[in-house]
Structure 1
Amino acid sequence: MADSFDVIVIGSGPGGYVTAIRASQLGLKTAIVEREALGGICLNWGCIPTKALLKSGEVYEQLGHLEAYGLAVQGRSYDFSKVIERSRAVAKQLSSGVAFLMKKHKIEVVDGTARLEKGQGAPTVVVDLKAGGSRKLTAKSVILATGARARTIPAVGLAPDGDRIWTYREALVPKAAPKTLLVVGSGAIGIEFASFYRALGSEVTVIEALPRIVPVEDEEVSKAAQKAFEKRGIKFRIGAKVTKLARAKTGVTLDLEAGGKAETLTADVAIVAVGIDGNVENLGLEALGVKVDRGHVVTDPHGATNVPGLYAIGDVAGPPWLAHKASHEGVHCVEHIAGLPSSNLTSPVPGCTYAQPQIASVGLTEAQARDKGLDVKVGRFPFRVNGKAIASGEVEGFVKTVFDGKTGALLGAHMIGAEVTEMVQGFALAITMEATEAELQATIYPHPTMSEAMHEASLDAFGRVLHI
């Protein structure tokens, strides 16, 4: 006899566990299935532990610039094992926090690996339990929140070997920081690891196949980011195709082609950060006839698949592959299941890269806006003339705004500099509320703050900038 629920969520990352909590709040009897640790990749092997590492790297790097603040210390050093230990402790704390939330909301946690079988309504969930044996669960609605994993390309050696060729998982728990490091891919994951290991003194080279780094960002931000990272000593090979990555006697060798020329790089270790693939395998999707396209489950705007009663949210449902997008989708999906009016799924999704300097953006880039044929007005304001930035010694970077000149609508915002990941939500809120330049310009920003640059960039787009 199968155990019956209203909703079963498969996967407990930020998409899955938030979905389960919202389902419980709506009075739905809910179960969540997790094969590894509560919190999924984000809390255990992604968003959270990487930020802990980056903070350690940031503090260590700042210790090398104390003179600028009139301070001094006698030498500096780090204990790499303790840096890693702190990162793992942070991840464990938050995973335990998710367990508390599941208990608080009376959500049944089923530890094991799930697969789907044909049911009378929604698919039946069969769980191979960690403790042994199996368990059948049925529900009116089943939500896939199985996430994604690092993409590998074994044909050219872009696959982890557990020793010298890493994905993000291996890069989070090495025994020592490599003296030399190659990072393949300059998206958020690659750049964050490059930033962390460079902060600890590793010689880092980033290889990117596209013409610029952090290629999803506005072109001006990409250029400024490369300049800032090069200033920190990170090297780049741009427009470079990796033809082979292999272990060597004492490290790794990487063959690449760029500008019609071949080159071979060597290092102690390589990190593969060339994207992610949705976890669609071994779930029984093929037997059920679930539509899958290029590694992600195809859904409608409410997360419904082509199979009645089966939904998918987050990374497994396609890009953008971001934790906050997964949570938002999950809440929308379960509210739709409960028959509530649909929440806004058209809200723009902010993107953040937590390197030094940080990068944050939301909405259209300037190029995307122009491609739409819009009357584009662009504003910019550099942190080098922002009072708080000068006082903090954090003058690198700028804020860029993109408006529709005819309607005044804010189309996008792009930022690089200290703590911009904490500021971008202001622009995200403005776009969600369909704010125009009038509202942004009329808003009072506190002084002195870095956020004043947001105000000035909005003013600048319409020729009203005050402090330049």
Structure 2
Amino acid sequence: MAVTITMPKLGLTMTEGTVSSWSKKAGDPVSEGDVLFVVSTDKLTYEVKAECDGILASVLVAEGDDAPVAATVAIIAEPGEDPASLAESAPAPAPSKTADKDEPIETTSPAASSIQESDRGGKKVVVIGGGPGGYVCAIKLAQLGASVTVVEKERMGGTCLNWGCIPTKVLVHTAELYHETINGSDLGLIVKDASVDWAALMTRKTGVVDQLVGGVEGLMVANGIDVVYGEASFVSSRSLKIGNDTLEFDAAVVATGSETVIPPIPGVDLPGIVTSKEALSFDSVPKSMTVVGGGVIGMEFACVYATLGTKVTVVEMLDTVLPPIDREISAIARASMEALGVKFYTSSKVTGFTDKGGKIATSVETPDVPISVESEKVLMSVGRKASTASLNLENAGIRHDRGKITVDRFMATSVPGIYAIGDCCSPIQLAHVASAEGEIAAENVMGESKAMDYKTVPSCVYTMPELASVGLTEAEAVKRGHSIKIGRFPLSANGKSLIMKGYDGLIKFVVDDRYDEILGVHIVGPRATDLIVEGALALRLEATVDEVVTTIHAHPTVGEALAEAALAVNGKAIHMPPS
């Protein structure tokens, strides 16, 4: 049976759209998911895709012509149907409402220069930055009745979706599967000549990113949010300049994120020295790589590339890698990475880089003697800084410390009506923190008085094995004056972890000795980044270990080890001999 393709409704006020281009012509075969045509309105462009396989039997609206919302634009014939007969019986094409076919179509594509004023009522709020902080804030603002415009200089989704969290985890997932495959003999899994198709992996990474970015763009449309592409800078405390245009607002939220810090080390501009952004898109898997910095980003890339066969060396100035993580947990992770072949130099400093004809020599001062490490690539991963240089904060009177915007616990800046969220101001540079701050800021913009609470922020590290943490580490709890008890449960004693080869995993509870209140939960092992949610909820509810213990945990799961670790706080673990 034939399927009609209609003009979609892409916003609350949309009544018609223009077919700006066709990707298929009448008679062409189409597959589910193929782009059929592109719709343009005065606020956006949108790709309409086929929802089934078949033949494009009839095109009813030509390129450049308009059609009302819900009008039939095309007909797809199912396999076996006669496209010619369907075309003959199709309704007449919708009349064109375009006054001048040569008149340019205004869009909110990156090339667009004009800013469309929202035709909705409500408080006019501009959100600068479309990352996980900005787009969540924008949606919350729209839900609360604001007229919202998002200004994004590159792509919706920001660093996280495009060049950070999401594409990195695509590589991590494939690396994990590859590692399981080539080491699967004890699982009864034999795969001869297993290999990674790097080009296919890059294509998959791009596909996942594009799907999620498209989803965010769709959420903007669904919530009636205007999106303007360009770089914003403040003209005053109530107006922005984007390109040659000016945008006035009643309130603003700065959500411009962060960028990689590049320290002034001699030779740091040599070819082959990259940031995490470039490390996601190498032409091929490098034979060797030096990672400068032992933080989360550096360790995730170290694991990925070491698993794929790269000889990886890590140089870290501190005496430990992953310094925010509980020392006991990070030590287990380091040992696992060393088993992958990663070489560590801690308490060491990079002093320079030299071109060695196809390789880069990294000069390192170690606690013993100076050394030189040669590698094909060098990943600079020493931290990130607020990305605010182009905003001209001074024009709005916004207080900042070397670019990092100063905010209070309500996410308010020094200027009434202007807020900031995410990496450009936050004490914790994590995507989920930016999202939470975005919701807080949105509510306060609209007249509430909500404060941000960082007590329950979980940290997740996608190394192999995974690490996750929430609340105080053992050292932090002692430093704050708590008398503490520790509960540990090794995942080697957990059935599901044993099945998953999580032999070295550990769950650790840090608990106040007086009240048995849970102060921190720390996990290394399979599914750690999923399990930490229970720890975050426990801190949110100020739970005691007894409340975790008396919650029935499903079997067989890794999660039941949380209950065992809680029992271990008072020496009552069931599946572990008494100490």
TM-score, structure 1 normalization: 0.95
Cα shift at 1:92: 1.1
SS of residue matched to 2:291: strand
Query: 192, 211, 215: which is aligned to 1:93?
Result: 211
How far apart, in 2, do the equivalents of 1:40 and 1:344 lie? 22
Report the Cα offset of residue 155 of structure 1: 3.3
CA displacement 1:214-265 (0-9 Å, x = unmatched): 1110010121111111111111011111111233311111011111521111
Q: Secondary structure at the match of 2:145?
A: coil
What CA distance in whole angstroms lies between the structure 2 residues aligned with 1:291 and 1:156?
33
Select the residue among 48, 53, 64 that pairs with 2:182: 64
Q: Look up the SS of the partner of 1:423 in the other structure.
A: helix
- Once the two structures are superposed, the pairs formed by residues 183-194 of structure 1 within 5 Å of their partners are 183-194=291-302
Which residue of the partner structure matches residue 17 of structure 1?
135
2:238 is matched with which residue: 123, 128, 132?
123
Q: Which position in structure 1 is the counterpart of 2:388?
A: 280
When structure 1 is superposed on structure 2, of 42-51 and 436-445 the one drifting more is 436-445
Of Structure 1 and Structure 2, the greater helix share is in 1
Match of 2:536 in 1: 428
Kindly indicate whether residue 505 of structure 2 is the aligned counterpart of residue 387 of structure 1: no
Aligned to 2:254: 144
Larger Rg: 2
The corresponding residue for 1:237 is 345
Q: Which of 445, 450, 466 is residue 553 of structure 2 equivalent to?
A: 445
In the TM superposition, residue 319 of structure 1 has moved relative to its aligned partner by: 2.5
Q: Secondary structure at the match of 1:266?
A: strand
SS of the counterpart of 1:389?
A: helix
Residue of structure 2 in register with 1:131 after alignment: none
Contact preservation (8 Å) 1:437, 1:458: yes
Correspondent of 1:73 among 191, 201, 204 = 191
Equivalent in the alignment of 1:216 = 324
Shift of 1:344: 5.4
Tell me, which stretches of 5 or more residues in structure 2 are unaligned?
1-114
**CA displacement, residues 90-128 of structure 1 (integer Å, 9 cap, x when unaligned):** 11111111100000000000011101111xxx4301111
How big is the shift at 1:341? 4.9
2:431 aligned partner: 323
Deviation string 1:335-375 (CA, Å, 9 cap, x unpaired) is: 11212352652442110110111110001000000011111
Structure 1 runs (4+) greater than 6 angstroms displaced: none
State the AA in 1 paired with 2:252: V
Quote how far apart the aligned CAs of 1:85 are. 1.7
Higher relative contact order (CA 8 A, sep 6+): 1
- After TM superposition, the structure 1 = structure 2 runs for residues 152-171 of structure 1, keeping only pairs within 5 Å, are 152-158=262-268, 161=270, 163-171=271-279
Any idea what SS the aligned residue of 2:230 has?
Answer: strand
Deviation at residue 310 of structure 1 after TM alignment:
1.3
* CA–CA distance in structure 1, aligned partners of residues 173 and 185 of structure 2: 20
What is the CA distance between 1:289 and its match in structure 2?
A: 3.0
Relative distance call for 1:27 and 1:287 in structure 2 (3 A) is: closer
* TM-score, normalised by the number of residues in structure 2: 0.77
**In 1, are the aligned partners of 2:409 and 2:451 still within 8 Å (CA)?**
no
- Once the 2 structures are TM-superposed, how far is the Cα of residue 146 of structure 1 from its aligned partner? 0.1
1:459 paired with 2:567, answer: yes
Give the gaps of 5 or more residues in structure 1: 129-133
Matched, 1:51 2:140: no
Give the conservation status (yes or no) of the 8 Å contact 1:164–1:247: no
**Contact 1:218-1:365 at 8 Å conserved across structures:** yes
Partner in structure 2 of residue 114 of structure 1: 232
Pairs aligned (count): 458
User: In the aligned structure 2, how far is the partner of 1:139 from the partner of 1:253?
Assistant: 51
CA contact (8 A) 1:400 1:415 kept: yes
C-alpha distance 102-2 of structure 1, shift in aligned 2 (>3 A) = closer
Inter-partner Cα distance in structure 1 for 2:254 and 2:336: 40
1:168-225 deviations in Å (ceiling 9; x for gaps): 1110111011101101111110001111111111111111110001111001012111
